[in-house]
Amino acid sequence: MLKGLTNFIFGDRREFEAFQIEASTYSSLECQLCARSVFAEKWVFRNMSLETFQKIRPHIGRTRWVTFRGWGDPLENENLPEMLRQVKGAETRTALITNGSLLSEACAHRLLQTDLDLMVINLEVATQAIQDSLSSMGSDLKRILDQVETVVKLRKAAGRRNPAVKLSFPMTRLNMADLPTMVPLSARLGVDEVIFRNLDYLPEERWNILRTFYHESPTPAFEKAIEEIQLQGKKQGISFLCYPLKAEERMVCEADPPRQVFFSVDGLVAPCPYLKIPQKGPIPRIFMNQEYRVPQLFFGNVHQEDFLEIWGKESYRAFRRVFEDRRRSEFNVGRFLDTFSNPQSAAEKPTPSPPPPLSEECRTCYKAYGI
């Protein structure tokens, strides 16, 4: 109670913004955009054990959020409800990112009992053309949307505001023209927000062909679809988020390695899920129509070392320092531009130095470009 009051007055000042925990690399849903289909026999199928989770558990009070996400569906792990309860015991917010295939009514009841704060349903199955009527949709998509509606109804019946429920659709060449119809549908389901995201990892050429974002020349039809999504969002009165269609380098990516940590299913500590994929060997990527292979990047395993020892390693600190310096550079540029309103102050301040370049591992990752 006292801690909650202190957080309300002074803010929740914790060392980390989020721990991202990969509870499972399994998935009951087969879809066109499943990385597992690319890696085939190289894929490592596993559920995070409670033993591994307990190695992370002592440090959960250091972060504002724990997000259960990864390259599989967290609902595949039967220990997920217990993990969620233990996180809430540390007065930390919880989020779940799932494909929704296992989101039955019984599962929804269990999740509500854990006091989950946020649920995002990634609808990778929505890659084919989508029609306005539910009856015309693919059976998997219709079933998942029905289950989402059940979650919203159960939340309302219990008189709860949490979890916030968000639907996330991938933007592809196959479905872009029809995605605006998902806005009124999402509003009818009663979800809190609808998200339209890019294919941010391109393991092979098929993904590259399907992407809708661009480097130099936009596609007018895709830009028009975004405008229609925005119009529908305002018309329906539902919150919406559209990821940008133009790839432009960011100072710090969405993964934000200085403030977030990714724990893989087997306890490895990595900067983000895009640098630790559960497959054997280096990570294939397509970036600007070129093929690359980058090494898996992690700095230790919680089964061999305490997390803080891993976090404090010079190699990990050096990796994060690039982002810290880039963020500092962005701040300094902002301050420099502000001084133009005060000519006397501008004359006294030196021109800010350019930001350091992205590390080799991140230079060919589209998350570093806002995608």
φ/ψ of 90, rounded to 5, equals: -90, 10
Q: Is the pLDDT of residue 133 over 50?
A: no
Specify the higher pLDDT residue, 60 or 13. Answer: 60
Distance CA 197, CA 149 (A): 21
What is the pTM (predicted TM-score) of this model? 0.90
Could you tell me the two tokens for 125? Answer: 């199955």
Q: 195 in helix, strand or coil?
A: strand
- Confidence band of 348 (pLDDT split at 50, 70, 90): low
Please, which residues have CB within 8 angstroms of residue 39's CB and are 6 or more apart in sequence? Answer: 203, 277, 279
Q: How confident is the model at residue 40, as a pLDDT?
A: 84
Q: How confident is the model at residue 29, as a pLDDT?
A: 83
Q: Is the pLDDT of residue 132 over 50?
A: no
Q: With 0-12 CB in 10 A as exposed, 13-18 as middle and 19+ as buried, what is 313?
A: middle
Give 252-287 pLDDT, tens digit per residue: 999 999 999 999 999 999 999 999 999 999 999 999
Give 172-212 pLDDT, tens digit per residue: 998 999 999 999 999 999 999 999 999 999 999 999 999 99
Instruction: Provide the 10 A C-beta neighbour count for residue 143.
Output: 16
Q: 305 in helix, strand or coil?
A: coil
Q: Is the pLDDT of residue 116 over 60?
A: yes
Q: Is the pLDDT of residue 10 over 90?
A: no
Could you tell me the two tokens for 293? Answer: 């292979």
